[in-house]
Amino acid sequence: MFARLLLLVLCAVVAQCDYVEEQFSELLEACVNGTRERCPTTPPSWASEQVFLVSVLSSLCDSFSKHLFHAWLEHYTQRLDIPGENVILIVHAPQGASEDESCLLQVYQEAQSFGVVRIDEWTQDTFTSLRKDQQRKAVMRDAGIQRWDWVVYADSDELHDLGWSGPYRTVPALAHKLSEMGMNAMHGIMVDRVAEDGSLPPVRSVAEAGTLAQQFPVECRITQRIAKAGCLGKVVMAKAYLALGPGAHWLIGRGGCPPGHASRECCFPRRIQWFLTRDEFSDCCPEFARWMPRQVKVNHFKWYEGVIPRLRRRRDVYRSLKNNVWLESERLLQHLSNHSERFCLDCDEELACHRASLS
């Protein structure tokens, strides 16, 4: 009986794969012969290309840092020159304790002080990468983003360092130049920023303790060496018609893996991805991702006070879902437990810890 059931399941999988292959091949043929429209890299003459910033964040008090959020908003709206009205925040705000409601209020107050007007609350479900991606896609569909617009993707603890000076030091200027060059995506590599002694201090205001770079001056490979996460590449910015893969680690479609990150952990078979998200390409062909050849740095300011309960919650959620991602959090918790709740920066030379700056 079991063998017969297993055979039926295998037949169904093979049939489904054949169907996906057939559908994908038909789509590519239509794209090649011109019977299906390609997505435009540049806007039509009557429109202008805009840059949006889309981020999903948690308002739970053990996840939210007012001073980090302030620095994040300042970085993107003032330093990188993304208009506040083009910042779209999706806030996970499950109903709960009154202190969490207080932190939600702080999210609104800080965001509005930087001219952010689009804040969507997500009150249901557990915070996972999949649910986060689903919420982001749903909000983007309703936000008036055109397919030729650029979208910057950044978690609330990620500060992108473009590494440019002069005329291309801001996101809109660089995005416009990339469009002129026929490129549609920019990738980065995530680097962890930690306190000088490896501790987990609270994020303080600039007046109290200086900039984020001064409070967390050491760059280390925490996520890679301790958590042993498989994919550190990040999609920093892409045209809106390119669909984002889970965790913003790759793009769905042909050429979706960032250069140098085409590992098994980072990229699943493109046909399966296309089939699962085919609604993303309902009105135009899935395109080759044409990456800017230069990789930028994604500064990861995650390692501050409160990260231990956050790691425990993340571990428990993913373990309950039988997702092996829980092991990443468990490794981090074990390391911190073994070293008095701080990172041992000289225990492993491959952590490659060194002083760095947010240039």
Element of type H or E holding 150: strand 150-153
Q: Give the range with max mean pLDDT: 16-30, 115-129, 247-261, 277-291.
A: 115-129
pLDDT digits over 224-266, tens only?
A: 999 998 778 899 999 988 877 777 887 766 556 666 555 545 5
Q: CA of 233: how far to CAs of 80, 175, 230, 357, in Å?
A: 21, 19, 9, 20
Give the dihedral of Cα atoms 326, 332, 334, 340; nearest 10 deg.
-150
For residue 168, how many other CB atoms are within 10 A of its CB?
A: 16
Phi, psi of 150 (to 5 degrees): -95, 145
- Mean pLDDT (the chain) is 82
| CA nearest neighbour of 182 among 46, 292, 45 | 292
Ranges assigned E (strand) in 4-134: 51-58, 87-92, 118-122
Report residue 331 CA to chain centroid gap: 22
Q: How wide is the angle at C-alpha 147 spanned by C-alphas 144 and 150, nearest 5°?
A: 90
- Classify 191 as helix, strand or coil: strand
Q: What is the pTM of this model?
A: 0.83
% of residues, the chain, pLDDT over 70: 75
Q: Both tokens of residue 178?
A: 């990339």
Please tell me the distance from the alpha carbon of residue 80 to that of residue 358, in angstroms, as a whole number. 13
Q: Exposed (0-12), middle (13-18) or buried (19+): which is 69, by Cβ within 10 Å?
A: buried
* 314: phi then psi, degrees, rounded to nearest 5: -60, -45
Predicted confidence at residue 229, as pLDDT, reads 85
User: Euclidean distance between the first and final Cα of the chain, in Å?
Assistant: 64
> Phi and psi at residue 114, in whole multiples of 5°?
-105, 15
Measure the CA–CA gap between 23 and 2, rounded to whole angstroms: 32
Q: How far apart are CA 273 and CA 252, in angstroms?
A: 6
Inform me whether the pLDDT recorded for 127 exceeds 80.
no
Pick the CATH number of 51-355 from 2.60.40, 3.40.720, 2.40.50, 3.90.550: 3.90.550
Assess contact for 358 and 213: CB atoms under 8 A: yes
Report yes or no: 309 and 62 within 8 Å, Cβ to Cβ.
Answer: yes
Please indicate whether residue 103 or residue 152 has the higher confidence score (pLDDT): 152
User: What tens digit of pLDDT does each residue of 293-340 get?
Assistant: 899 999 999 999 999 999 999 999 889 988 888 999 999 999 999 999
Give the separation between CA 32 and CA 285, rounded to whole angstroms: 9
Q: Burial level of 278, CB count in 10 A (0-12/13-18/19+)?
A: middle
